[in-house]
Structure formats: C-alpha cells, structure tokens
Amino acid sequence: LTLGQAARFLGVAQSTIRKWSDQGKVPAFYTPGGHRRYRRPDLETFLERSGPGGQTKSGPLVLLVDDDAKVRELVRVNLEFEGYTVREASGADEGLAAIEEAKPDLVLLDVMMPHVDGWEMLRQIQDRYGVGAIPVVMFSGKVDEQAKEQAANRGAQGFVGKPFDLQQLVDRAKQLAPV
C-alpha cells in the first residue's frame, strides 16, 4: 500500500504513519524509486497490537474535528511533535464515528462547522458517554466572553479562540491528556 492508503487503513495522518515507520513500529519497505510502501498483513498485525485508530503507547489519542483541512494539519503536526497520536475528522458525523472506533483521550472541536456544529457534537458526545467522560476543548473564530462561558456551561473543559496560539492549545491538551 502507498503511504496515503496505509494512513487511511489505520485511520491516522500520513505524518503519523511515517513517524511510526521511522520508529520501527510499522514495517515499511522502499520501491526502487525510493517510495515508502506497506504490506497489509503488517498493518493488520500493528492494529492487533495497538488497537483501533492506531493508538499506541507513544501518546494519548486526540481527535481533532474541524472542517478546515489546513487548520487540522497545523494542529496535528504540532500535537504529533509533542508525542500525541492524532486522528482527524472533517465534521461531526465523521468525528462521532471515530469516537465509536477508538475512544480518544481528548477531543479538540471547532464550533463553526457545516451541517452539525460543534455545540451539537459536544451534546451528542455527552449524551453517549456522559458529561466530562471525554474531555473536550472547543475552538472558534468567534471569540468573546460569552463563548468561553457558554463552553464552560455546556460541559467543555476549555475554549480557545481562532486564530489560536498553538502553544496555548498544546498546553491545554497537556493539562487534559498528559503525554
């Protein structure tokens, strides 16, 4: 399988599987052209050892839900650098399905998304698992004291404004799901 196919198979970002293969956690081989490839049986063995979503002892699993792929990539790269395993979702339905597959240690959730917004996804997480069972940090481009208060009143463990200070977001993740 190609890097992209293997990443989709494991349900993680390409940079995560690349890091795992560099660390020797996931076996890879190289084509004569220098491209990394993966064998399906190796990936299946890895999943059996590590569980759904590829979560390993290398770091807590963070589910990042945002409809903006560039924001997801920026946050994912920074969290992975800190030792987290990051799973991405582009919307609430995809995020809820990811939680069903592998319960994350933390959810980073955008408020403003098409179809189902972050507040509704937060409510659905709480209905299924209980308030606070999965820590959730909300983030949004609309920042005011009301939004922060609303996040706290609705059971979120934090609120960060966009464009956010990445270090602030990483620090909040470390408080809620230490590496």
- Write down the mean pLDDT value for the chain: 86
pLDDT of residue 169: 84
**Does residue 125 contact residue 95 with C-beta atoms inside 8 Å?**
no
Digit-coded pLDDT (tens) for 53-72: 444 446 899 999 999 998 88
- High-pLDDT (> 90) share of the chain, %: 38
Digit-coded pLDDT (tens) for 87-146: 999 999 999 999 998 899 999 999 888 888 999 999 999 999 988 899 999 988 776 677
Predicted confidence (pLDDT) at residue 11 exceeds the cutoff of 70? yes
Residue 36 makes CB contacts below 8 A (sequence gap 6+) with: 3, 18, 21, 28, 29, 30
Tell me: cis bond preceding 178? Omega within 30 of 0 counts: no
Q: Sign of the CA dihedral 98, 85, 134, 126? A: negative
**Does residue 93 contact residue 116 with C-beta atoms inside 8 Å?**
yes
